[in-house]
Structure 1
Amino acid sequence: MTDVVRLDAVSKVYGKGRAAVAALREVTVGVPRGTFTAVMGPSGSGKSTFLHCAAGLDVPTSGSVRLSGTELSGMNETRLTELRRERIGFVFQMFNLVPALTVTENISLPLELAGARTDRAWLAEIIRRVGLEGRARHLPAQLSGGQQQRVALARALVTRPDVVFGDEPTGALDTMTARDVLGLLREVVSELGQTVVMVTHDPIAASYADKVLFLADGRIVDSVTSPTADGIARRMTGLGAWTR
């Protein structure tokens, strides 16, 4: 399978001299198209830095990051912003919805910002898939937390991105609601062929993925395919931490 995201020898160092901290160390990994990858590790392992570099939100100190073959290094911030808007979807722990916009308007916002035409059939399909048909005209304040995260997921999908990055996307949800959202992420991979990369500290959340990458001290130290929550929990215990 073709790698949608590819990191080659990526390092990220913050600060200089004795104050320098290496958040990533020579990370090389590919994320195949149409797969669900979870990223886990102890606090300070480099999970967030990995996501930020892979998504073009931060620039590596060295190494190469490619999105569907497009090299991100050397792009100025304007071009990176355009690339993120057009080819990457984001789902964060906080829903980041615009309070004054309806569900439909929040979902369509990336298209509006890009000056792109809204495909009404695709928009309706996305709203249906996330189970919000009866809520399309509601404002965020009229929705539960789980419903708001469904809006955020639909917004991430509406541009048909190359990849969706999730940063603790279920961290603010109760257990049952979190499982509903994880089920939706699994569905968009299995049924729509979407590519998802999710940072999480939760073994149950990670068990929805096809593959789990384990980070420690800025390096990928292990990976597991067809993961189970118990197996992930044991591996995390071996790494010595549970927190982000």
Structure 2
Amino acid sequence: MFRTRSPRSHPSEPAAQALRMVKVTRTHGSGDGAVTALDGVTLGLARGTFTAVMGPSGSGKSTLLQCAAGLDRPDGGIVQLDGTEVTGAGESELTRFRRGRVGFVFQQYNLLDTLTVAQNTVLPLRLAGQRVDRRRAVEVLTALGLGDRLGHRPGQLSGGQCQRVAIARALVAEPRVIFADEPTGALDSRGARDVLGLLRSAVRTHGRTVVMVTHDPLAASYADSVLFLADGRLAGRLDAPTPDAVAERLAHLGDDVPAGV
């Protein structure tokens, strides 16, 4: 059953963990049409690490990301994010928590058509009542190739440019944990390299934690480690990944791979 208390810190838990999930389950639908998206997932990710999550379509990747980020409610288990238990929190408490500590990059850009690139980028800061560092925003947008698009609106941008605005929005707020669902899916190879380089820099230079769902072995190779999912369960882990090693592991996910990490 889902708990009904607010997010709370657990001082006794290892402070080095940015994300901790214990026996997390999530089922979509009911009756004969029920689909188990997560089946007792337990994992721990250290602070200041870059983790890629991979697996076949329907393996539970996006559900894991959304439960970990507090955007979806698991049916059972515990989720702790940045040292705080988010399982069972009310929506208003979760919203405040996410605005202060979590960044998101999803396949849907979620940009406001009436705002400019610069305004969309700093919107989370304004909503959270935080100080807006325009110089930092321009710096990140320029690094993503959008320095000459600050006054443009989403309707004047390509899909790849909109995705880069969404990524800049997540980075500018300097969250403790960044969740990214296929962040390079709409980008060409150069744009993808720029984005992955920025995510890796956020980890190595600024100590952020990044959790990224991807289907691309090359993108996964930018991460420190890769978690593999199959049928809603953890099906292995690969440290210091290379594109070839990732592709090889994906090709054998249906084999008897030891579960767990």
> Shared fold (TM-score greater than 0.5)?
yes
Cα distance in 2 between the residues matched to 1:131 and 1:172: 15
Report the AA paired with residue 58 of structure 2.
Answer: G
CA contact (8 A) 2:144 2:191 kept: no
Cα distance in 1 between the residues matched to 2:83 and 2:227: 21
CA contact (8 A) 1:46 1:216 kept: yes
Report the AA paired with residue 113 of structure 1.
Answer: L
Partner of 2:70: 56
CA RMSD of aligned residues (A): 2.0
Q: Which moved more, 1:210-219 or 1:77-86?
A: 77-86
| Residue 56 of structure 2 corresponds to residue 32 of structure 1 | no
CA contact (8 A) 2:160 2:186 kept: no
Report the AA paired with residue 42 of structure 1.
Answer: P
Q: Which moved more, 1:207-216 or 1:4-13?
A: 4-13
- Alignment deviations for residues 138-195 of structure 1 (CA, whole Å, 9 cap, x no partner): 3233444443322211211222212111111111222332222222222222222221
- Could you tell me the percent identity over the aligned residues? 59
Report the AA paired with residue 63 of structure 1.
Answer: G
Partner of 1:196: 210
Report the AA paired with residue 2 of structure 1.
Answer: A
Q: Which moved more, 1:158-167 or 1:183-192?
A: 183-192
CA contact (8 A) 2:52 2:214 kept: yes
Correspondence 1:129-148 to 2 at 5 A? 129-148=143-162
| Residue 132 of structure 2 corresponds to residue 103 of structure 1 | no
Partner of 2:258: none
Gaps of 5+ in 2: 1-14, 256-261
| Residue 83 of structure 2 corresponds to residue 69 of structure 1 | yes
CA contact (8 A) 2:70 2:94 kept: yes
By how many angstroms is 1:131 displaced?
A: 4.2
Partner of 2:230: 216
| Residue 169 of structure 2 corresponds to residue 155 of structure 1 | yes
1:192–1:115 CA distance, 2 compared to 1 (3 A): same
SS in 2 for 1:166: strand
Cα distance in 2 between the residues matched to 1:154 and 1:129: 9
Partner of 1:94: 108
TM-score by length of 1: 0.90
More helix per residue: 1
By how many angstroms is 1:13 displaced?
A: 1.9
Cα distance in 2 between the residues matched to 1:15 and 1:155: 33
1:124–1:173 CA distance, 2 compared to 1 (3 A): closer
CA contact (8 A) 1:149 1:181 kept: no
1:174–1:127 CA distance, 2 compared to 1 (3 A): closer
By how many angstroms is 1:240 displaced?
A: 4.8
| Residue 178 of structure 2 corresponds to residue 173 of structure 1 | no
- Alignment deviations for residues 63-98 of structure 1 (CA, whole Å, 9 cap, x no partner): 100111111112111111222222111111232222
Cα distance in 2 between the residues matched to 1:18 and 1:101: 45
CA contact (8 A) 2:26 2:36 kept: yes
By how many angstroms is 1:15 displaced?
A: 3.3
CA contact (8 A) 1:103 1:135 kept: yes
Cα distance in 2 between the residues matched to 1:171 and 1:240: 25
Cα distance in 2 between the residues matched to 1:26 and 1:240: 19
Q: How many residues align?
A: 241
